[in-house]
Amino acid sequence: MNQYPAQFHDWPEFLGTAEVASVLRISRATATRLMRRDGFPLLDPDARRNMLVNKYRFIEWVRGEQP
């Protein structure tokens, strides 16, 4: 598993399953299950493939700062 850039501003605007897995240091399978959970801020909640999350919404979710 590759380590993701430490600096938030170096991250791409949208994170996919591989990027979420790398940031959280979990497997891609676990990241996929996590991203399919209710409350995870996916761009398209109905997406089964190409699941993406905005990096700002992702950080808010990780910190528990959901609107």
Residue 18 is assigned to a structural domain of this protein: yes
Q: How far is 40 from 35, CA to CA, in rounded Å?
A: 6
Residues pairing with 14 in the sheet? 54
Residue 3 is assigned to a structural domain of this protein: no
Give the pTM.
Answer: 0.84
> Which domain range does residue 38 map to?
8-63
Q: How far is 18 from 25, CA to CA, in rounded Å?
A: 10
- Count: domains in the chain: 1
Closest CA to 32 of 43, 24, 20: 20
Residue 44 is assigned to a structural domain of this protein: yes
The pLDDT tens digits for 10-35 are 889 999 999 999 999 999 999 999 99
Q: Which helix (H) or strand (E) holds 65?
A: none
Residue 37 is assigned to a structural domain of this protein: yes
Euclidean distance between the first and the last CA atom of the chain, given in angstroms as a whole number? 31
Backbone angles phi, psi at 42, to 5 degrees: -70, 150
pLDDT at 1 over 60: no
* CATH code for position 35: 1.10.10
Residue 12 is assigned to a structural domain of this protein: yes
Residue 24 is assigned to a structural domain of this protein: yes
